Structure 1
Amino acid sequence: MDLSAFQLIDQHPDGVCIIDCTGKMLYVNDSFCGIINKEKKALVNKSFSSVFQKSEQSKYSATYFEQILNNLPEPYNQMQHTLWDNRLVWFEYCYGVLTSENIIIFIRNITFRKLDELEIIKSEDQFRKFFQEGSDGILINRISKDRFFDNFLEANKQACELLNYSRDEIINKNIYNIISIWDNQKIEHFITTLMKDTYALLEINLITKDKRKIPVEINGHVFEYNGRPAIISVVRDITKRSQANIELNKSREQLRSLALRLQNIREEERSMIAREIHDELGQLLTVLKIQISLISKKLPPNQTSLQERVESSIQFIDQAVKSIQKITTQLRPGILDELGLIAAIEWQAREFEKQTGIQCDCTLPKETINLDPKHSTALFRITQEALTNAARHSFAERVSIYLKEEDDRLVLEITDNGKGIHQAQINNPNSLGLLGIKERAMVFGGKVTINGIN
């Protein structure tokens, strides 16, 4: 070889080694030294086998190189080695004959590329195992340019069994063939989310070959399949979960109906007790007051002491009447039935101010709200309980009540400037007042939000 040829070899990015028929290295370039991790002087005139671990050296005898001279191996031959410094590497070889006794070998270190290839093969093996042995159904398809699901490309055994189709039958179908036409909008939203986030969840009913509807959860992901983007959908039968949700919702409805019935009974009992106290005790005390007043008029003028006792008894009767009025009002405020919710809340706010000394501001609708008695009672009791909580626990100086209509909803908001409430107190099962508020709202399909300390 002339000087210019050696200069080209010296600059070659691959490792280059010239070996004689005995396996001795006559020449190595800088790239070869870098790959082997040795200097030229430690390689030239040494056996080619010396670059490998001792367990591999016997393979590269003189006979091995004589065979190469007589029959060159295929180019780009790939082999795995353990080098002298215990590094595990993959080399790609190209061989050439320079003379009847000399071989030139081009060596490329392909370790990283090979590891990537092996990892891909491993991932593909794992995917095939997951695809065929997973407990859920798996469907693979592409999305067309106009953003519709194309026919299924693949379906595993579980998907076929779930839908009662053979694999060949499913491959000739797409998602639109196994759903109700009314669910097309769900699929459009599913595709939009997939294109945006590369994954999406969907609950939908799939229609089997024998026309059964099966509720499923589809977990979709965008991935590369045979070099092109595709959708893999993991399909899970959620029949049992759906049935459990139906039973749970049914139980909740039953509990809600029971709670409503108990509230109604409680309010009816309160109203009945209030009427009984007002009608029976109120009348008895009124009659008693009249009779004592008549007796007092017939007392001689000189019975001063007895007259004072009579007047004292009349005062006690007046106090008893006021107590009865207070008790009956607490049991069932007449203003709620007579003038409605807005007037009752305004009256309660004024009573709250008198009893606690805490300022209570009201922002209420000017026009009457059209509510049935049960809903009005529930909102009034919620207001009472919220004011009681503010008085007992918040150390507030001001409470504000807002009642407003928003679209088809009625919003009651009660705030105070007190010390606030921690989340642990809100969640405490012993916070009976808060539980009562939530219960009253729940039975009418309402929602309670409590904001405490940030």
Structure 2
Amino acid sequence: MQKDNSSVKDNMHSQLLFQQKELAQRCLDIAGVILVALDGEQKVAMINRKGCELFGHREDEIIGKNWFDEFLPDEDRERTRTGFKKYIGADIESMAKFENFIRTKSGENRLIAWSNTLLKDENGRIIGTLSSGEDITERKKAEEALRTSEATMRSILQAAPIGIGIIKNRTFYFVNDYACQVSGYAKEELLGQSARMIYETEEEFQRVGEEVYRHIAEKGVGIIETRFKTKNGDLIDVYLSAAPLDPSDSEQGFTFTAMDITRQKQNIEYLKKSEVQLRSLAAHLQTIREDERGAIAREIHDELAQVLTALKMDLSLIEMDIKERDEIFSLAKLSKDIVMMQSLIDATIKKLRRLITELRPEALDNLGLVPAIEWQIKDFQSRSGVRCDFQMNRKELSLDKNREIAIFRIIQEALTNIGRHARAKTVKVTIDQKLRHIVIRIIDDGVGFSMDILDNPKSFGLLGMKERAIVFGGSCIIESNKAAGTTVTVTLPTGE
């Protein structure tokens, strides 16, 4: 009877152990993590269903195999084995964290994050490890992709030649380096501060906010031109654009871009002024052309035609005297008439030479640029009484005919302006030819003028000098101060 009772107890105990083992196995199998037990010889003593599924092996293909030799890739094997040896050799109870790659049956490497604990026997001797692992391969890829994306975005934000930032309730939460460069403020001076600080007036601050938010509500993006006030007080023109971070929730804030368009605006204004000036110059040149034609016509009519008519009449009288051969005719009278006719012819020749010189100096064609300039300066000095000094760094200039004409006309116009307006006592003209360019300076000690006159579209003489230089890819810089004289500096490529 006692034997039967003992047998029943043993049977019940075996069933209880089986049920506990079955329960433990089910717990291992339904666990959402990999569970692996290694013995002291680095062999797999236990692995749950999750682990088998990840490796792609049956349980009997894993149990008893060396963990490091069979299931880890070559590049991660020795590092992980060394870590295991150090861990199992230390008599500690704390959990150890470790990450390493495992190799599946298909040859794929998967990254696992392990939490490890030591296994001990009843005597406290370390006999192995129990590890729970989570496959973090995809998470790591996502994290790496996110880091790469963030690094790329940071690089773009920092390299972009435009101010970029984030505002919330019109307060700066982020700004890139270029936004700081444009505004003159450091990041720590902007972050957490109201955008009001970069506007000149409260009215402009409110106007921009109202317009931008209205555009965002209508089109999703707000765009406006405004002006920012920099830290040092300068005003710059800005093309501002903003869009919500979350179109469904504007409370999340807005991304903005700010492009400094100050120079573009200045260039546009300059082009507009240049267009007005060029139109005025074209009209002025046409007027000059007609005036010159009228002047030449008057000179011919008033001077040459009258002289030629007088000569014709004198010749007719002489002819009549010769034909009549009466007592009135005498050689003395004939000689006197011839002298008068010669005087008229000499005066006419001088008139013709003056007209020809005004149209185009003979010296420029016959002798070259340098003698023509010398003649021009000498003529100006004799007519105006202004003492002139002419200096060159070379005896001759190597230029094509068109550049010679341009230089001659520029000096001619500069001297004309001095004679009309400067009230100068001395004028200095210098020509300095370098290897690839030539520099002409006309300097006077006259009364000077305000530089604002350069923007006057009616300043045809000054504008004409600039246009002659620009045609050849050169420049004409005019500097003047009241009571301090004027300097005209012309730089032209030699064309060689």
Q: TM-score, normalised by structure 2?
A: 0.43
Larger radius of gyration: 2
